A and B are shown apart, each in its own frame.
Chain A
Amino acid sequence: MMNAALDLRWPSLGDSPRTMSPVRGAKHRSAIVRLVAAPKRDQDEETARKKAEADEARKQAEREEERKLCDQAQAGDKKALATILRKYGPILYRSVLLPRLGSEASAQDALADTYVRVVERFDQFEWRGCGVYPWLRVVAMRIALDQLRGRKRETLFEPDDLTRAVERAERDLEEPGLDVQLCEKRDRAEARKKLDQAMEKINSRYATAIRLRVIEEKSREEAAEALGVTVPTFDVVLHRALTALKKAVKKQQEAEA
């Protein structure tokens, strides 16, 4: 009778897990778990939110600092301009110039030319929310494009590829969330894609030989062992693999031209 009385009251307060059906009991249990877990989840979310805010604040401070440097540089302060270029030059070299020009010497030449052009034209730079790096990136790409057009280089990229890349990079300037990491990621992904496309054009065994020896920089002995051949035979395979790669790239470039 007591239970019946209780039962009458439960609907207004919610069913008791002891008296309700198994299905409804399970729902209640999960609700309890949710209630118990909620504070921890809220705590995690709060921590993540604070971290994101701190990151954003740090980025904002860096941007503000960078903006000041840009203003100083535009006023003719070479120390400020040197600070900017010293920070971003190696990134331009690594992710913009080197992959597209395919040689250290060419990339260094292009970086020097980029600096000269930046110094000449820094007064034309307009501050945008994404900072100065995307603008430097466009300048570096244009220099690389000039180099590719001016001289026939051995590289995976064609002038047309770079023309498209410059157009994209110019559009990127309008992207508010763009930062150095994102630009770098995009540039590297593009280079990687170009490499993969080239490797797909040659025999898989050739591609393996190039990957082992040139990209992963394994010793001749290790690479030969991985392919199950002797070292002198591996040397021949690698030579032939690079010849095939060169031929495949040239063929594609001619076709695109």
Chain B
Amino acid sequence: MSDRDDELPEELRPDDAEALAPDQGEMDALRALFGAPDGALSGPDHEALLAMTLGEDVASHEADEVAEAEALRRALDGDDGIEGPVMALAELASVLRVTARATSDVDTVCQAADHEALLAVALGTEPEVSEAEREAATNLSEALDREPFVASLRAARGEGSLAADDASILLAVALEATGGLAPAFSERTREVAATLAGDLDGTGDGDAELLPWTQVVRAAAGKLPDIDRLSHERSLRASLEAEPARKGGGDVLNLSRAPLWLGAVIAAAAALVLLINFGRQSDGGPTAGMPSPVTQQATAELKAPRSTAELFDPAEPFEAKGGESARVDKILSARAADLRNNRFAAWGVR
């Protein structure tokens, strides 16, 4: 007789071996309990139930099943080397365990130390903690203060301090920075971000909506380049040209003012032509509204604005330095002749 036999009630000892055999009523009850379809119970399930109900000696298990059971046990004990269907069972078990703990009272959730800590917080007393635990707590506290991930999370939790999408992006970034998890941004988000990145790199079209804000920031930080010499000189000359010279003043801008003067004269001549033409059209006569023969002829003979390229020989390129005055004189002379001819043409004389 085995040791186990000693533990059995007297009426169930081997002498009463027939009492160990399951009867039909018990089997039916088990089938009903597990709700097997059309009353069927699989072989392994049946064996397992028998073993559970009547003792291990009654059921016989397949070797595969025993091996899987052992693997499951190891997985539940935290062995990460287990894979396959057994791991899925272990995960399921873990979920059940967490769910059960979450719905249990504090005694089952907390370790003794946790319970002490919670009590200390509630009562405002100092918890009894070991030196190692105190050191770990200090380290954690310091890490929380310097870790930007935590700062981000704190900011994300602050009311009204952060938009929902900001919070999600910061969280995603923090997770990637700390856990290597790639955040799942939408295609549109990635697209607009890539457009801005391209513009900042100088490879984009410069149409990123936020590009002006990068300039705003750089300008305030004093990081934008100084005005380029040519733009500055252009602004300066334009402003100085706009003001008539005063008495006794020097004149530094003869060269650049010449085209302006010439343009003004041409504009005056054109206005004169238009005035003459308008006067002839509005005299109310039978030819009113029609260009006069003189005007038609004059218009045909007017020199049209054109490039100055024809005044210079393309075979003789300009010198790198000097010669500007001579070139301007040449243009001035040619344009003055055009103006004179246009005036004569407008007046109908030669």
Q: Is the CB of B232 within 8 A of A205?
A: no
Q: Does B165 contact A (CB under 8 A)?
A: yes
Q: Does A98 contact B (CB under 8 A)?
A: yes
Q: Is the CB of B218 within 8 A of A78?
A: no
Q: Is the CB of B166 within 8 A of A240?
A: yes
Q: Chain A, 91-129, contact with B by CB distance < 8 Å: what is the 0/1 string?
A: 001110011011110011001100110111000000000
Q: Does B144 contact A (CB under 8 A)?
A: no
Residues of A near B178 (CB, < 8 A) are 228
Complex alpha-carbon distance, A119 and B240, angstroms: 7
Residues of B near A233 (CB, < 8 A) are 172-173, 176, 182-183, 185
Q: Is the CB of A232 within 8 A of B163?
A: no
Q: Chain A, 199-241, contact with B by CB distance < 8 Å: what is the 0/1 string?
A: 0000111101010011101001000000111101101111110
**Known A75-B247, A107-B219, A229-B173; further 20 A-B contacts with Cβ < 8 A:** A75-B246, A76-B247, A77-B250, A79-B252, A95-B222, A98-B219, A99-B220, A101-B219, A104-B227, A115-B239, A115-B240, A194-B220, A195-B220, A203-B166, A215-B221, A227-B173, A228-B176, A233-B172, A240-B169, A242-B196
Q: Does B151 contact A (CB under 8 A)?
A: yes
Q: Is the CB of A93 within 8 A of B226?
A: yes
Q: Does B217 contact A (CB under 8 A)?
A: yes
Residues of B near A116 (CB, < 8 A) are 238-239, 242
The 7 closest A-B pairs by CB, nearest first: A76-B246, A76-B249, A115-B239, A228-B177, A102-B216, A235-B193, A195-B220
Chain A interface secondary structure, helix, strand, loop or mixed?
A: helix
Q: Is the CB of B216 within 8 A of A156?
A: yes
Interface-located stretch among A43-51, A166-174, A243-251: A243-251
CB distance from B345 to the nearest CB of A (A): 37
CB distance from A105 to the nearest CB of B (A): 9
Q: Which residue of A lies closest to B178 (CB)?
A: A228
Within 8 A of B (CB), among A8-45: none
Residues of A near B232 (CB, < 8 A) are 86, 89-90, 93, 111
Q: Chain B, 151-172, contact with A by CB distance < 8 Å: what is the 0/1 string?
A: 1100100000011011001101
With contact pairs A118-B239, A215-B221 given, residues A103 and B193 touching in the complex (Cβ less than 8 Å): no
Q: Does B139 contact A (CB under 8 A)?
A: no
Q: Which residue of B162, B217, B224, B225 has the most chain A CB atoms within 10 A of its CB atom?
A: B217
CB distance from A199 to the nearest CB of B (A): 9
Residues of A near B163 (CB, < 8 A) are 244, 247
Q: Does B212 contact A (CB under 8 A)?
A: yes
Q: Which of A75, A99, A156, A208 contacts B248 (CB 8 A)?
A: A75
Q: Does B38 contact A (CB under 8 A)?
A: no
Residues of A near B212 (CB, < 8 A) are 102-103, 154
Q: Does A63 contact B (CB under 8 A)?
A: no
With contact pairs A111-B227, A215-B223, A245-B213 given, residues A204 and B155 touching in the complex (Cβ less than 8 Å): yes
Residues of B near A203 (CB, < 8 A) are 152, 155, 162, 166, 170
